[in-house]
A and B are shown apart, each in its own frame.
Chain A
Amino acid sequence: MSEAPVLRMESVRKTFGGSVVLRDVDLEVAPHTVTALIGASGSGKSTLLRCANLLEEIDDGAIWLDDEEITDPRVDQDAVRRRIGVVFQAYNLFPHMTVLDNITLAPRRVHGVPRAEAEARARELLERLGLGEKAGEYPDRLSGGQQQRVAIVRALAVRPRLLLLDEITAALDPELVGEVLTVVRGLKDEGMTMVLATHEMGFAREVADQVCFLEGGVVLERGTAEQVFGDPRQERTRRFLRRIVEAGRL
């Protein structure tokens, strides 16, 4: 990790009411790498991503994006979010807008890109993801896999520095998971820096440069995909992976 990390978290703590959701979490994401967050539901994966995007305010610790401390209260949060793309589990497309308007909203309104230019880029991205004909459709006319690919295009349209993917295949029918994962693979090849929370262990193993296993809000184990999946050091990581294997998910 010679280059400065894109995202760095130090001793991050987050509580909801009385329960501690993240405890003393450290994380470093190098440029052009993929970090996979694995762990059971409720282990804090999604919260970690939401904190990184400032959708949740952390209680303690600090987060840096490209050497800028984004948890500094004086920082312009909207400006930070502009540099981070997020794809949600439930797609969260805007139902009252066409696919094209969903994608061009942020470039036009936030980045001031002229409509023609924003639409040209949107169409190009849609084309590349095999959604060229869907530009004029409304989200509810698309399948789950198509909606999620549109959500990815929407996040990419502002050329983010970092892409956060929050269980993006969890709401999809099994036969639609593949088309979405193919897109993520393509992004990795293009050098996009990504952090993804996922239950797709096979996929995490394949694309991730770094894997973090979370349990109870703590990063219990981290390492290369090979190390965490092939030779986990922690007993609890081993137990978690065994359950996953038994469920036929690895």
Chain B
Amino acid sequence: MTVHKEELGSGEHDAADGYVPSQRRLDRERHKRVRARRATAIGALSTLVTAVVLYLVVVGAPGWPRTKETFFDPGYAREAFPKVLEGLWLNVRLLLVCGVAVLVLGMLIAVARTLRGPVFFPLRFLAAAYTDFFRGLPLIINLMIVVLGVPALRLQGVTVDPVLLGGTALTLTYSAYVAEVFRAGIESVHPSQRAAARSLGLSNRQALRYVVLPQAVRRQVPPLLNDLVSLQKDTGLVSIGGAVDAVRAADIIVGRSLNYTPYIVAGLVFVALTIPMTRFTDWVTARMDRRQAQGGTA
């Protein structure tokens, strides 16, 4: 960014108004360039040193040859990769379906919590209890209860499919988180916006729908995406019920071979899947910050 500015500055040297930069300015710019070059050099050097030290520590560790064999075996990696990728398709589908369900359910709960009037008390209460409960309950326990507990009931007509049940558990927990994100967004919209809407004759519901929610959702895009990235990883937890996703696919090979390389492969695949999403989140956040900086919204 700074480099860009300096270029702009030097481009001005032959500006149309006949401006000639002073010696003072040229000295200043040269000094900045020297400093920038030095900073880059120091950065590169320290990165190199860190890398070498890390390498020596890991490779020089007494158990390294053994660890290398069990965690970084190219043969097992090649074997695991296609299976893991196949399993990953299940994670992606889970993410898509649960993501949509979470957004819808989260929004409904958030709106329920903001309803006023005594008629809605039970709804408000339920919504509050729901978010409190599912935000507090560890996801892994939630999954175990739903994925293992529900089939144990042997209810007629209720699925025992670990994927469906796992997806349900994920949706339960994540919609509680997302509801809080939406609620924070709704409360962050200044009351004067609602007052303006009401003064135009909009009903409470119309004010919420046309004025408050669109602003709330827009503001909450970065934290929402953050929760979706998190959901994406946690789809891997449905493997505890036996569903063959990327993690379970790795698990199967590990169980057979007693070599942990497939886990590393599965882990890297998840990272590769989340990076685009994380970058997208950063990009959206940065873009929104820029818009905010351009002109505040009263």
Partner of A78, one of B192, B203, B218: B203
Contact A90 B201 (CB under 8 A): no
9-residue interface stretch from A81-89, A189-197, A203-211: A81-89
Contact B294 A140 (CB under 8 A): yes
Residues of B within 8 A of A96 (CB): 214-215, 218
Q: Is A53 part of the contact surface with B, judged by Cβ < 8 Å? A: yes
9-residue interface stretch from A33-41, A102-110, A116-124, A238-246: A102-110
Contact B193 A55 (CB under 8 A): no
Residues of A within 8 A of B198 (CB): 55, 78, 81
Distance between Cα atoms of A157 and B197 in the complex (Å):
13
Partner of A95, one of B200, B206, B215: B215
A79 (CB) vs chain B CBs: closest residue: B201
Contact code string B276-298 (vs A, CB < 8 Å = 1, else 0): 00000000000000000011111
Distance between Cα atoms of A92 and B296 in the complex (Å):
12
Residues of A within 8 A of B192 (CB): 88, 90, 92
Contact B200 A140 (CB under 8 A): no
Residues of A within 8 A of B206 (CB): 109-110
Residues of B within 8 A of A111 (CB): 201
Contact A110 B202 (CB under 8 A): yes
Contact A81 B200 (CB under 8 A): yes
Contact code string B197-211 (vs A, CB < 8 Å = 1, else 0): 111111100100011
Residues of B within 8 A of A90 (CB): 192, 298
Q: By CB atoms of chain B within 10 A, which of A79, A94, A110 has the most?
A: A94
Residues of A within 8 A of B201 (CB): 78-79, 81-82, 106, 110-111, 158
A139 (CB) vs chain B CBs: closest residue: B297
Contact B214 A91 (CB under 8 A): no
A147 (CB) vs chain B CBs: closest residue: B298
Q: Is B41 part of the contact surface with A, judged by Cβ < 8 Å? A: no
Partner of A105, one of B200, B215, B295: B200
Contact code string A71-83 (vs B, CB < 8 Å = 1, else 0): 0000000110110
Residues of A within 8 A of B200 (CB): 81-82, 105-106, 110, 154-155, 158
Known: A81-B199, A140-B294, A140-B295. A92 touches B193 (CB 8 A): yes
Distance between Cα atoms of A95 and B193 in the complex (Å):
9
Distance between Cα atoms of A78 and B201 in the complex (Å):
5
Q: Is B26 part of the contact surface with A, judged by Cβ < 8 Å? A: no
Q: Which of B253-296 contact A (CB under 8 A)?
A: 294-296
Contact A92 B195 (CB under 8 A): yes
Distance between Cα atoms of A109 and B204 in the complex (Å):
13
A164 (CB) vs chain B CBs: closest residue: B199
Distance between Cα atoms of A93 and B295 in the complex (Å):
14
Q: Is B137 part of the contact surface with A, judged by Cβ < 8 Å? A: no
Known: A88-B192, A110-B206. A95 touches B199 (CB 8 A): no
Distance between Cα atoms of A110 and B60 in the complex (Å):
74
Q: Is B196 part of the contact surface with A, judged by Cβ < 8 Å? A: yes
Distance of B211 from chain A, by nearest CB (Å): 6
Distance between Cα atoms of A205 and B202 in the complex (Å):
34
Residues of B within 8 A of A92 (CB): 192-193, 195-196, 298
Contact B195 A140 (CB under 8 A): no
Residues of B within 8 A of A85 (CB): 199
Distance of B255 from chain A, by nearest CB (Å): 53
Residues of A within 8 A of B199 (CB): 53, 55, 81, 84-86, 155
Residues of A within 8 A of B211 (CB): 94, 105
Q: By CB atoms of chain A within 10 A, which of B195, B202, B214, B298 has the most?
A: B298
Contact A94 B202 (CB under 8 A): no
Contact B294 A94 (CB under 8 A): no
A151 (CB) vs chain B CBs: closest residue: B196
Q: By CB atoms of chain A within 10 A, which of B199, B200, B298 has the most?
A: B200
Q: Which of B177-223 contact A (CB under 8 A)?
A: 192-193, 195-203, 206, 210-211, 214-215, 218
A-B contact pairs, 20 of them (CB 8 A): A53-B199, A55-B195, A55-B199, A78-B201, A81-B198, A81-B199, A81-B201, A86-B199, A88-B196, A90-B298, A92-B193, A92-B195, A93-B196, A94-B193, A94-B196, A96-B214, A105-B211, A109-B206, A140-B295, A141-B295
Beyond A85-B199, A92-B193, A140-B297, 14 additional pairs, beta carbon < 8 A: A78-B201, A81-B201, A82-B201, A88-B192, A90-B298, A92-B196, A92-B298, A94-B211, A94-B215, A110-B201, A110-B206, A140-B294, A155-B199, A158-B201
